[in-house]
Structure 1
Amino acid sequence: MNPLEFQLFGPFEVGTADGERLDLGPRKQRAVLALLALEPGRIVSMDRLIDELWADTAPASVIGTLQAYISHLRRVLEPGRAPRTPPTILLTREPGYLLAVEPEQIDLVRFTAGTEQGRQALSRKAYGEALDALDRALAIWRGEPLAEFSAYGFAQPVIARMTELHASATEDRFEARLALGHTGSSIADLERLVEAHPYRERLWGLLALALYRAGRQADALAALRRARARLADDLGLEPGPELRRVEQAVFDQSVTLEAPPPPKVVTAGLIAREPQLRRIADRLAEAGRGQGGVLLVAGEAGIGKTRLAQAAADAAGMRVVWGRCVEADAAPAFWPWLQALRALGERAADTVRRLSSGSGDPAADPDVALFDLHERVLGTLAAEPVMVVLDDLHSADAASLRLLRYAARELHRRPMLVLATLRPEPGREPEQLADTLAALAREPGTERLRLPPFSPRDVAAYLGGADPALAEALYRRTGGNPFYLGELLRLLTASASTRSRKRSAT
Structure 2
Amino acid sequence: MLGQIEIIDGDGRRMTGDDLPRRARQVLGVLAARHDRVQSKDALADAVWGADLPGNATAALEHYVSVLRRALQPGVPTARSFIVTRAGGYVFATDRARLDLADLRAAAKIAERRPGQLDVREHIVELAPELPFAEDEYADWAAPARAEVKAVLVAALLDLAEPAAAADPARALRLAREATELEPFTERGYRLAMVAGAALGRADEVVRWIDLCRRALADDLGITPSADTTSLRDRLLAELHTPGTRTSAAPDNNDTADTHTRAR
1:165 deviates by 2.6
Larger RCO: Structure 1 or Structure 2 (Cα < 8 Å, ≥ 6 residues apart)?
Answer: 2
1:246 maps to which residue?
A: 232
Q: Mapping of 1:326-475 within 5 angstroms?
A: none
Equivalent position amino acid for 2:197 in 1: L
2:200 maps to which residue?
A: 214
SS at match of 1:91: strand
Q: Is the 8 A contact 1:213 1:259 kept in 2?
A: no
- With over 3 angstroms needed to count, the CA separation of the structure-2 counterparts of 1:116 and 1:205, relative to structure 1, is farther
Cα RMSD (Å) of the superposition? Answer: 3.4
Candidates 45, 52, 74, aligned match of 1:57: 52
Equivalent position amino acid for 1:86 in 2: A
Which structure has the larger Rg? 1
2:169 maps to which residue?
A: 183
Q: Is the 8 A contact 2:160 2:175 kept in 1?
A: no
Equivalent position amino acid for 1:90 in 2: I
Q: Is the 8 A contact 2:193 2:206 kept in 1?
A: no
Equivalent position amino acid for 1:240 in 2: S
Q: Is the 8 A contact 2:190 2:213 kept in 1?
A: no
- With over 3 angstroms needed to count, the CA separation of the structure-2 counterparts of 1:172 and 1:256, relative to structure 1, is farther
Q: Mapping of 1:150-161 within 5 angstroms?
A: 150-161=137-148
Q: Mapping of 1:51-200 within 5 angstroms?
A: 51-81=46-76, 86-102=79-95, 105-118=98-111, 120-121=113-114, 123=115, 126=116, 129-130=117-118, 132-178=119-165, 181-187=167-173, 190=176, 198-200=184-186
1:15 maps to which residue?
A: 8
1:413 maps to which residue?
A: none
- With over 3 angstroms needed to count, the CA separation of the structure-2 counterparts of 1:109 and 1:70, relative to structure 1, is same
Candidates 241, 244, 248, aligned match of 1:258: 248
1:189 deviates by 5.8
Q: Is the 8 A contact 1:145 1:162 kept in 2?
A: yes
Q: Is the 8 A contact 1:43 1:98 kept in 2?
A: yes
In structure 1, stretches of 5+ residues that fail to align are 1-7, 261-506
1:221 deviates by 4.5
Equivalent position amino acid for 1:230 in 2: R
- TM-score, normalised via structure 1 length: 0.42
1:46 deviates by 0.6
Correspondence 1:42 to 2:37: yes
Summarize deviations over 1:135-180 as a string: whole Å, max 9, x none.
221112242311222343211222222223322322222113225x
Counterpart CA distance in 1 for 2:76 and 2:177 is 53
SS at match of 1:105: coil
Q: Is the 8 A contact 1:207 1:223 kept in 2?
A: no
Counterpart CA distance in 1 for 2:62 and 2:183 is 43
- With over 3 angstroms needed to count, the CA separation of the structure-2 counterparts of 1:241 and 1:107, relative to structure 1, is farther
Summarize deviations over 1:399-427 as a string: whole Å, max 9, x none.
xxxxxxxxxxxxxxxxxxxxxxxxxxxxx
1:220 deviates by 5.6
- With over 3 angstroms needed to count, the CA separation of the structure-2 counterparts of 1:201 and 1:62, relative to structure 1, is same
Correspondence 1:234 to 2:219: yes
Counterpart CA distance in 1 for 2:139 and 2:209 is 39
Counterpart CA distance in 1 for 2:209 and 2:63 is 58
Summarize deviations over 1:267-298 as a string: whole Å, max 9, x none.
xxxxxxxxxxxxxxxxxxxxxxxxxxxxxxxx
Q: Is the 8 A contact 2:154 2:179 kept in 1?
A: no
2:259 maps to which residue?
A: none
